[in-house]
Structure 1
Amino acid sequence: MLTVTCESPGHLVAQQRPRPERGHGEVLLRVRRVGVCGTDLHIFTGHQPYLAYPRVMGHELSGVVEEAETDSGLVPGDPVYVMPYLSCGHCIACRQGKTNCCVRIQVLGVHRDGAFAEFISVPQRFVGKADGITLDQAAMLEFLAIGAHAVRRADVTAGQRVLVVGAGPIGMGAMIFARLRGAVVTAIDGRQDRLGFALKHLGVAAAVPVGDGDEAELSRLTDGEFFDVVFDATGNAKAMERGFRFIAHGGRYVLVSIVQGDIRFSDPEFHKREATLLSSRNATTEDFETVMKAIREGLVPSAALATHRMTLAEVPAGFARLLDPTEGVIKAIIEC
C-alpha cells in the first residue's frame, strides 16, 4: 500500500509498505480521507513535543471498513470515523472517563503511525459509524471535537463574552461551539483572511486583527470588562502569556494549544481576578457525538472549512505549501 512517512523535519517520503494485518479486536480500514492538522504541520516543521521520527502522520481520518470482527456491528463497506486517541481504559484518567488525557495514551500519527496510508488497522472501540455525514465531514470530526471539548470544559453559557485567540481550525472549532451555546464570540488573529472567514462563516460578533490598538479594541468591545472565557489556540508562547490580560475578573482561561517549554504570567494580576486556568487536551466520545449532531443539523459550515485538497500521492511534493499563509488554507483534506 502507498504510505507517506515523515522521515525527519521537512522530509516526506512516499513508499510502498505491506498492507497491515487486522489484529484481534481490531478493524481494518481502507482510508478515504485524512484532514491535515496543525499537529501534522508541527511534525513537518519539527515542533511537536511528543514525537519521534520517522512517523506516518495523520489522525483526522475517515474510511470504509475492509475487515471487522463478526460481532462488531461493522461490515465491509461501512463508512466510519476514528477517534485517534488510543487510551488504555485502566489508568487514573480513564477511570474518571477522561480518556483524552490517558496516562498511556497513544495518538495515531503522533505516538504511533497514522493514516497517511491506504489502509490502517485500529482497535474496534475507537471506530464509529459515520451515519448521516459525508466522508469529508467524518474526517473533520476530530479537530472540531477538540474545540467542542474546550468549550465544554470551560462551561460556556449563553450571553457570556468569549474571546478566541488564534483563528486556525482548532480556534474555529471553539468559535463554532461557543456560539452554539449562545456566547458572544470575538476572534483575534494576525491573519485578516481568517478573521474574514470567521465573520462570514462562523457567526462571530467581532474580529480584531493583532497589532497596535488591539487590546484597546478588546476593551472597547466589552465596556472595559474583557472576557468571561478566553481560549488560546495559537501554539505561540508569547500569545499564551499575553492572553492572561484579556480575562475578566472571575473569568476563565483555557489553553487549547501546546508549546514546548514554559509559559509565565503575573501572579498578582491572576489572583486579583480570581481567574481559573484550564488546559484542554484532545476530546472524548461525548465531544465527537456533539459534533456529529451539530453537523447533521446543518450547524457546522463543513463545506466552507474544507478549502484545500490533494491526493495521498501528491503529499510529498505539495505538503509544504499548506504552511504558506498566502494559500489561505483553513482545512486541507487528503483523498486516498
Structure 2
Amino acid sequence: MQTLVCVEPGKFSYVGREKPVLKPDHAIIKVKKIGICGTDLHAFEGTQPYFNYPRVLGHELSGELVEFDNAPGFYTNEKVTFIPYFNCGHCIACRMGNTNCCVNMQVCGVHVDGGMTEYLMVPSHTLIHGEGLGFEELALVEPLAIGAHGVRRAAIAPDEYVLVIGAGPIGLGTMEFARIAGAKVIALDVNEGRLNFCRDVIKVDYTVNALSDDVLQQLKEITNGDMPTVVIDATGNLKAINNAFQYMAHGGRYVLIGLQKGEICFSHPEFHKREATLMSSRNATIVDFEQVVRSIKKGVINPLNYITHRVTFDQVEQDFESWLNPKTGVIKAMVSMDK
C-alpha cells in the first residue's frame, strides 16, 4: 500500500508498505479522507513538540471499517472516524476518565505513524460511528472536538464575553462551540481574511485585528469596560500567549489549547490580583467527539465551510509546503485517497 512519510523536516517520501494484519482488540480502516492540521504543518516545519522522524503524519481521518475485533455495534464497510489519542487505560489520568491526557499517550501521527496511508490499524475502542455523515465531515470531527473540549474546560456561561485568539481551524471550531454555549464571541487574529471568514461564515459577534495599536481599548469597548471573562488561545504562538494575560477580566479564565515549545512568562501581580485561572486543554474525549457528531447532524455546525483546498493523495508532497504560506488562503486542506 502507498504511504507518505515525513522523512525529516521539510521532506516527504512516498513508500510502499504492507497492509496491516489485524491484531486482537484492533480495527483496520480503509482511509478515505485526511484533513491537514496544524500539527502536521508544524511537524513538516520541524517545530512540533514531542516529535521524532521519520513519521507518517495524519490524524484527522475518515474511512470504511474493513476488519475489526472486539468492536460491538460496528459493522463491516461502515463509515467511521476514530479518536487518535491512544491511551493506556491504566495510568492516573485514565483511571480518572481523563483519557485525553494519558501519562503514556500515543497520538496517531505524532508518537506513532498516522493515516497518510491506504489502510490504518487502530485500537477498536477508539472507533466512532459515522452516524450518516459524509467522509469529509467525519474527517473534521477530531479538530472540532479539540475546540469543544477547550470550551468545556472553560465552563462558559451564557452571555459571557469569550475571546478566542487564532482563527485557524482549531480556533474556528472553538468559536463555534463557544457560540453554542451561549457566549458573545470575540475573534482575535492577525489575518484580516480569516477575520472576514469569522464574521461572514461562522457569524462571530466581534472581530479584532491583533496588529491594531488599540487591541486593549477595543476589547474594553466591546465588553463595556469589563474585559473578556474567558480567553482561549488557539495559536500556539508564544508572543500571542504571553500577551493575552492582559486581556482577562478580573476573575477570568485563560485556557491554552495551542501548544508551543517555549516558556510562558507573565506578571504574577497582574495575574494574582485578578484571581485568574490558567488551564491547559489537551486533545479531547469521547464526550467531545459525540457532541461534535450531534452538532453536525443537527446542522448547528457545518465543517465543510472550513475546507478551502482539496487534493488527491498523490498531490500532497508537491502541495504541502504551500499550505504553510498564509497567502495561499488555506484554512483547511482535505486529502482524498480516491483519485
Query: What is the TM-score of this pair, normalised by structure 2?
Result: 0.97
Cα distance, 1:223 vs. partner?
Answer: 1.9
2:51 aligned with 1:51, yes or no?
yes
Distance 1:6 1:210 in 2: 33
Aligned residue identity for 1:147? G
* Counterparts of 1:235 and 1:12, CA distance in 2: 24
- C-alpha separation between the residues in 1 aligned to 2:328 and 2:130? 30
Percent of aligned pairs sharing the same letter: 47
Counterpart residue type for residue 137 of structure 2: Q
Aligned counterpart, 2:113 = 113
Superposed structure 1 runs of 4+ greater than 6 Å apart: none
SS at match of 1:197: helix
- What corresponds to 2:7 in structure 1? 7
SS for the counterpart of 2:249 is strand
- Mapped partners of 1:19, 1:156: distance in 2: 45
**Alignment: residue pair count:** 336
- Would you say the 8 A contact 1:141–1:291 is kept in 2? yes
SS in structure 1 at match of 2:250: strand
Matched to 1:331, the amino acid is: K
Equivalent-residue separation in structure 1 for 2:304 and 2:112 (angstroms): 30
Aligned residue type for 2:282: R
Q: How many angstroms apart in 2 are the aligned matches of 1:246 and 1:185?
A: 14
Aligned partners of 1:112, 1:190: CA distance in 2, in Å? 33
Question: Which residue in 2 is equivalent to 1:159?
Answer: 159
Using the alignment, how far apart are the partners of 2:156 and 2:87 within structure 1? 27
> Does residue 281 in structure 1 map to residue 282 in structure 2?
yes
Per-residue deviation at 1:70? 7.1
Q: Could you report, residue by residue, the CA deviation over 1:248-303 in whole angstroms, capped at 9, with x for unpaired residues?
A: 00010001101102111100000110000010000000000010010000011222
Deviation, 1:222, is 1.2
Partner of 1:199: 199
Distance 1:75 1:56 in 2: 27
- 2:210 & 2:254 partners in 1: Cα distance? 19
Q: Quick one: distance in 1 between partners of 2:129 and 2:172?
A: 25
Give 1:95's aligned residue.
95
| Normalised TM-score (structure 1) | 0.98
| Residue in structure 2 matched with residue 77 of structure 1 by the alignment | 77
> CA 1:71–1:224 in structure 2 vs 1: closer, same or farther (change >3 Å)?
closer
Q: Quick check: 2:35–2:335 contact (8 Å CA) kept in 1?
A: yes
Paired letter, 2:206: A
Q: What letter corresponds to residue 261 of structure 1 in structure 2?
A: G
Distance in 1, Cα, partners of 2:159 & 2:70: 49
Amino acid at match of 2:241: M
Alignment correspondent of 2:308:
307
Is the CA contact 2:70–2:124 (under 8 Å) kept in the aligned structure 1?
no
Between the aligned partners of 1:71 and 1:207, the Cα distance in structure 2 is 44
**Which amino acid in structure 1 is aligned with residue 261 of structure 2?**
Q
Give 1:71 shift. 6.0
Q: Distance in 2 between matches of 1:41 and 1:330?
A: 12
**SS of residue in 1 equivalent to 2:7:** strand
Contact kept? 1:306, 1:331, Cα under 8 Å:
yes
